[in-house]
Amino acid sequence: MWLSSTARQALHAVLCVAVFDDDGPVRVEEIAAATGGPRNYLSKTLHALARAGVLRSTRGPTGGFQLAESPDAISLEQVIAPFDAVGERRCLMGLPSCSDAHPCAIHDRWSSVATVVEKFFRETTVAGLLSGNPRAVNAARNAILTSRRRNRRKSDGSIKRKT
């Protein structure tokens, strides 16, 4: 039950990137340090998010990952979709013939619950997360910042455009 490990990493990574939106790209190394995930596997995950149109990647020095769109245009479903099919509802017992027309014994009761879950992922946006809990957002910022401090990034603080 619940999300796969990769989908969780993806959500966490997108939050890390979103927190630094308008401050230039965030590197894989920094995200890996902040989330504790494996670096190269994370790279693959982030690349998939870029292909999905959620992130934008730039290579070379000063490179990294940024949001591809405005935070309020990115739903959690978009972030999770490449790794975990949260959109397509399936029969709780795996019956292939189960549908609204030919419901299994659990279908009706489960449908109303599944609808709530799907609605959550579809309607919750990255912007919603950012505005929801300032303390958690600051914690994410700090995780990235300490990673930068450790590695003495040349461009520390100089790329910032907004704050």
Segment near DNA (CB under 7 A); pick from 43-51, 72-80, 95-103, 109-117: 43-51
Contact status, residue 63 vs residue 57, Cβ threshold 8 Å: yes
Distances (CA, A) of 29 to 56, 116, 143, 148: 16, 36, 12, 9
Q: Which two tokens stand for residue 62?
A: 């000063």
CA proximity to 61, closest of 24, 21, 107, 90? 24
58-117: which residues touch DNA (CB under 7 A)? Answer: 58-65, 83
* Shortest CB 130 distance to a second copy, Å: 7
In the list a second copy, DNA, none, the entry touching 93 (Cβ below 5 to 8 angstroms by class) is: a second copy
Q: Applying CB under 7 A, does 144 fall inside the site for DNA?
A: no
Task: List residues near a second copy by CB under 8 A.
Answer: 1-5, 7-9, 11-12, 15, 76, 80, 84-86, 90-95, 103-110, 113, 116-117, 120, 124, 128-130, 132-133, 136-137, 140
Q: Applying CB under 7 A, does 47 fall inside the site for DNA?
A: yes
CA proximity to 137, closest of 37, 9, 17? 17
